[in-house]
Chain A
């Protein structure tokens, strides 16, 4: 990955090196230029000084030559002109070195003084322009002017003889000084140039090194970028960064494109990413959570534990024009900067297959547990009892299916089914609980829940019944499994392992009863009252355990129950027993407080009567309170307040036989749906019987069921 800080310092270093190279070169060039100018000027002065130091000797020679020519009366014009030129050059050269500063001032002053003394002596010589000779017939001789001229030359010559050497020496010293200075300047220039070149070379080497390092670093950065790109391209999770405005950054992994089927994430608000894919409520929670992540004080571990997007069900386009549910897992990690949270790194994974697998695993585990529970339950139950129950349950579920099959188009027609479904299911559940076949009881309970929920819906349609019919199918499949298991247990118990034994147990099929010949709940084969008594005792024990109560069940006369009434009596007693356990019998502490025996007593007595048979069911529990029954009826909208107030105690007690009535607020496996006594009453009425209830609050509740002679009972469809 690229580190911007390090890169910036490297860039600054390179820029600094370049600036240093330029500066050094500029300084070297300026200094070199000045030195070169100085050398050039020194060379001019040196040249002038070198020439100057020769002139005194030349002037002396020319003066001597003039003297010689005057002596021999020769022509002096040429030498005179040369002398003039030499003096002129001397003046010029002297002017040059006088302009030059920095030369030894004492030497310069001495030279100036000597020349100023010499020059007046030379001036008349140069100024001479007359004829120096008088030509006569006898020969030539110096004229008067010539003699004066000769005297002037001699004076100048005398001065030259005295001072020309000193002048020469002074000028030579000046020349030597100048030469030394020029040599020193040249040496400085050389040193400067060398230092400049070395510095430039050093800086160039440094710049080259930096450039190489930069190139190497850029290559590493490029490789790192390529690697990052490869990671983002290959990784299976969708990665992106969220900024402080909860918007997605400019970089994201390709998996995000695959997950969301779009590619316009840059700058997209996180809220928009999920909009139309989750419910408004989930979206609001998600946005709140994202905001929380930016809080400085929120601890990451704590935030992780409350992440509402750990397993988010979203609706996605399935690529074929339809939509499908998928499960996404969002993980958030805060990226801290010097000023607090800089970004939030978000990782999104598709965990649909994991979720579905976990769900299947859980279902499999639940099935295994329920099968185990079922096995344990059945080990304690009589196989014949179980088999009879399965027949009865399958007939009951057939009736459920028949209720569903009745044509319905309107809400009223659909709603009409609910009461019948509830009654039938409640009855099956009661029997299953009595036999401790909890896996069946729980499934029926679940189905009852579904039907109960439908009651609360404002407008019912066929769509609402789809889950019900699916659950019914699942329940039937479960019953088939239980039947197979029962058959195996029978085989084990009988010690007859041949596979044919399983065929002896009737198979559960949803086919019309008249075709299958399977006995319905009310037509099953007769069983002894002893068997019923055992089953009821087991149920009483289980109910006592489930509800934390103590119950003593006393049964009498059940052996007298005619076969035709056995099923109804069993269903009724089961329901009444459950009601007694839930509503009637008080907990032991409450019973102690009212001086009752700790164990509640339930008596069931079946006997012949004048007109047929009579069943008495009595518990010594809390009894029924007519006022409480009225209040419950008003609460459940079965009666208005006025109607309830108008009821006498007898009519109030009769409320418990109304469909949908229960004083219990919460629904449990044993009570609360308000279909229990409704089922009992309907079953009794179906046999042409009557049911009545009497109570003494705090003392007892007594149900009396009167049934006609068995032969007079109406045929049951």
Chain B
């Protein structure tokens, strides 16, 4: 069973990114269990986890949210590539936080980025998926932790 501290590590990694990159903290919405297919946004940064736990953790955000985030970061490039880089960075921060807290217990892959609302997420059979809405300004993204 996933422990609360583990879940919090991923959540904190995500909210901290907003605080550091945009000087405006994100809050989390009401968490729930994923039912059926995940509702994906436009851009998804994903890391694979193996070792003590197995599965994936991903951050999926709508283009509008990423655009405002880039603006807050004083960026002028709102291209597709720029959006991809941004969710990749969020995934990278989540990964760094997890490495810091879990050390060698977790083997975490280099982040990869998926686009589109129906990307192929490599779900681990038997893994329960926790969805944590990430609210920032008026926008909402999702952090999905799907680990055995």
Contacts and interface: CB of A to CB of B under 8 A. Distances in A.
B4 A470 contact: yes
A463 B25 CA distance: 14
Given A322-B101, A414-B30, 12 more contacts: A318-B103, A319-B103, A404-B31, A405-B131, A409-B27, A465-B31, A466-B11, A469-B130, A473-B128, A476-B33, A476-B128, A511-B36
A525 interface: no
A401 B33 contact: yes
B132 A462 contact: yes
B1 A474 contact: yes
Interface string B30-54: 1111011000000000000000000
A465 B30 contact: yes
B101 A318 contact: yes
**Which secondary structure dominates where chain B touches chain A?**
mixed
Contact of B4 (A408, A466, A510, A512): A466
Contacts of B27: 409, 461-462
Contacts of A474: 1
A394 B141 CA distance: 28
Interface of B: 1-4, 7-8, 11, 27-33, 35-36, 97, 99-101, 103, 128, 130-133, 135, 140
Interface range on chain A: under 10, 10 to 19, 20 to 34, or 35 or more? 20 to 34
A456 interface: no
Contacts of B3: 470
B6 to A, nearest CB: 10
A463 B10 CA distance: 12
A494 interface: no
Contact of A472 (B33, B99, B103): B33
Contacts of B28: 461-463
Contacts of A324: 101
B1 A407 contact: no
A714 interface: no
A322 B135 CA distance: 25
Contacts of B103: 318-320
19 contacts: A320-B99, A320-B100, A321-B100, A322-B100, A404-B31, A405-B32, A407-B29, A407-B133, A409-B27, A462-B29, A466-B11, A466-B31, A469-B31, A472-B33, A473-B1, A473-B130, A476-B33, A477-B128, A510-B33
A462 B30 contact: yes
Contact of A512 (B1, B29, B35, B135): B35
B144 to A, nearest CB: 12
A325 B2 CA distance: 17
A430 to B, nearest CB: 23
B93 to A, nearest CB: 13
A700 B99 CA distance: 64
Interface string A578-613: 000000000000000000000000000000000000
